[in-house]
Amino acid sequence: MFDTTLRDGEQSPGCSMSPPQKLVMARALAELGVDVIETGFPASSQSDREAMALIGREVRDPVLAVLSRCLAADIETSVRALDAAARPRLHVFLSTSPLHREHKLRMDREQVLESVHRHVTMARGYLDDIEFSAEDATRTELDFLTEVTQVAIAAGATTINLPDTVGFTTPDEIRAMFQHVIGNAAGADTVIFSAHCHNDLGLAVANSLAAIEGGARQVEGSINGIGERAGNCALEEIAMVLKVRNAFYNFDSGLDTRRIVPTSQLLQRLVGMPVQRNKAIVGANAFAHESGIHQHGMLRHRGTYEIMRPEDVGWESSQMVLGRHSGRAAVDARLRALGYWLEEEELRLVFKQFKALCEEMRVITDADLQTLMLGSPASDGYRLASMTISDIGSRANALVELSDPEGNRVAETAQGDGPVDALFAALAAATGVQLTLDSYHVHSVGVGADARGEANLGVRYEDSAYEGTGTSKDIIEASALAWLDVANRLLRQRGNIENEHVATA
């Protein structure tokens, strides 16, 4: 498993990482168990050279690779950058397709072959572990690709990467390409073949699996599939395909798959790019069930609708998400888990109330169920009366006025590094609820004059994760409502627990 999160992944627009951030991510990748970490492209920036030095001094078990063009100056810079690595690899590449030869390189076949031979030989003179990539391999003539591979092997390459650089190929084509090159290139049995697939047509994982079937024994990709354009092969998906379908592929990745979700979430925090909720393996909905039919099956046997255990990839458990598609069996099961055992008629009445609540709320939480059982109106809680955001030099100041559950007015001010930071600090002061922000994003709901902003928060409170949502014409107000959505649920839950203690006493 060759991880390029820190190199190709970082090239995804908006995903640049500082050297200290790269070190944090490299530690996580080492704990995950990847075999090779590609740390960057040293000739492109001082930042990549600094990151390689930091990582090389601390991360000792995985192979550490850097990328280099087939240029003498690049190779020399890359070799110097690898000084601190315990297990260094130099990864050199050159385009091979007709399109790239004509328009990018302005080189003919013979010139490409000569450059590959010269620069791979030079690289091997410095290090024993050399990977050569034939950029745009999947759009290269098979006979020429085979010839390039032979030259690179003869010059000292130990790994040959045949990348689908622009996400153009299909599984049948890439499988046949690897089979042809491995079957016809002299010395192919002495090297490892690698697949590096991009996701422009949504086929990166499928193509990588097909490459394995064709003889590839190294897969290159990134956590969460981040990378150029539509991204790379998502390593977490490859790892779980090989684990779940091991009887078919008869290969394993060697990753500690229980580290997948923590590693994914770390990357999301570092680069500020959340994955979509329905993303395979690491998305919030990957092990969530709302449909009544699915929930009923899961309650009988989890294998009815889950092909892997959430605990095996780092989630705590499956989620029975209660919403308007949920059935009585799921509501009854959740109520029992909360300590409420209802007779059939009681359950019928509560389920009717539950369905009515679903018309107002997209997701029903445990606190909402407890509210139904204890008779406390779900609308109780702090309400936003007004807010004012202003700049004070390089910082922002927020003044919020809330109406508390008893109808009294509470006003607090706070400063922060920006308007949202100041707003959340003021809300925390006003309500007494301290939340740790994990994720925050806003988007538009609707179009034209009727469009509204929706803010979504991911927060932690006492080691538990919560999500809040708020909508408004104003994004900052929507953010405040999302924060209060979580705070009010926590306060209602706290109040319900206290009521239960009083009733028991």
| pLDDT tens sequence across 208-253 | 999 999 999 999 999 999 999 999 999 999 999 999 999 999 999 9
Residue type, 249: Y
Residue 443 burial (10 A CB sphere; 0-12, 13-18, 19+): exposed
pLDDT band at 445 (very low <50, low <70, confident <90, very high): low
- Closest among 219, 17, 127 to 7, alpha carbons compared: 17
Cα–Cα distance between 356 and 372 in angstroms, integer?
11
Q: HSE on the CB side for 381, CA within 13 Å?
A: 25
Residue type, 469: T
Cα–Cα distance between 109 and 184 in angstroms, integer?
19
pLDDT band at 335 (very low <50, low <70, confident <90, very high): confident
Residue 281 φ/ψ region, left for φ over 0, alpha for ψ in the -120 to 50 degree band, beta for the rest: left
pLDDT value at 388 more than 90: yes
pLDDT band at 406 (very low <50, low <70, confident <90, very high): confident
| pLDDT tens sequence across 81-97 | 999 999 999 999 999 99
- Cβ of 127: how many Cβ atoms within 10 Å? 17
Is 271 in contact with 17 (CB distance < 8 Å)?
yes
Look up tokens 């770390």; give the residue.
266
pLDDT value at 302 more than 80: no
Residue 132 φ/ψ region, left for φ over 0, alpha for ψ in the -120 to 50 degree band, beta for the rest: beta
Please tell me what DSSP assigns to residue 59: -
Is-above-0.85 flag for pTM?
no
Instruction: Please report the sign of the dihedral spanned by the C-alpha atoms of residue 242, residue 243, residue 246, residue 251.
Output: positive
Cα–Cα distance between 227 and 431 in angstroms, integer?
41
| pLDDT tens sequence across 459-496 | 888 878 888 888 888 889 989 999 998 898 888 777 64
Residue 160 φ/ψ region, left for φ over 0, alpha for ψ in the -120 to 50 degree band, beta for the rest: beta
Residue 308 burial (10 A CB sphere; 0-12, 13-18, 19+): middle
Task: Note the Cα 313 to chain centre separation in Å.
Answer: 13
Q: Which of 303-307, 379-383, 405-409, 438-442 has the lowest mean pLDDT?
A: 379-383
- Closest among 445, 494, 497, 492 to 471, alpha carbons compared: 445
Angle at 473 between CA 472 and CA 479, to 5 degrees: 45
- Sketch out the chain's domains with CATH numbers: 2-271 (3.20.20.70), 288-374 (no CATH), 383-504 (3.30.160.270)
Cα–Cα distance between 209 and 258 in angstroms, integer?
21
Is 123 in contact with 68 (CB distance < 8 Å)?
yes
Residue type, 410: V
pLDDT value at 297 more than 50: yes
Is 17 in contact with 6 (CB distance < 8 Å)?
yes
Is 281 in contact with 236 (CB distance < 8 Å)?
yes
pLDDT of residue 45: 93
Cα–Cα distance between 77 and 55 in angstroms, integer?
17
- Cβ of 2: how many Cβ atoms within 10 Å? 26
| pLDDT tens sequence across 106-145 | 999 999 999 999 999 999 999 999 999 999 999 999 999 9
Cα–Cα distance between 320 and 327 in angstroms, integer?
11
Tell me the chain's radius of gyration from C-alpha atoms: 27
Cα–Cα distance between 160 and 120 in angstroms, integer?
11
Q: Are strands 395-403 and 436-445 parallel, antiparallel or unpaired?
A: unpaired
pLDDT value at 497 more than 70: no
* Phi and psi at residue 437, to the nearest 5°: -80, 125
Is 466 in contact with 491 (CB distance < 8 Å)?
no
- Cβ of 277: how many Cβ atoms within 10 Å? 12
Cα–Cα distance between 143 and 137 in angstroms, integer?
11
- Closest among 313, 155, 182, 291 to 241, alpha carbons compared: 313
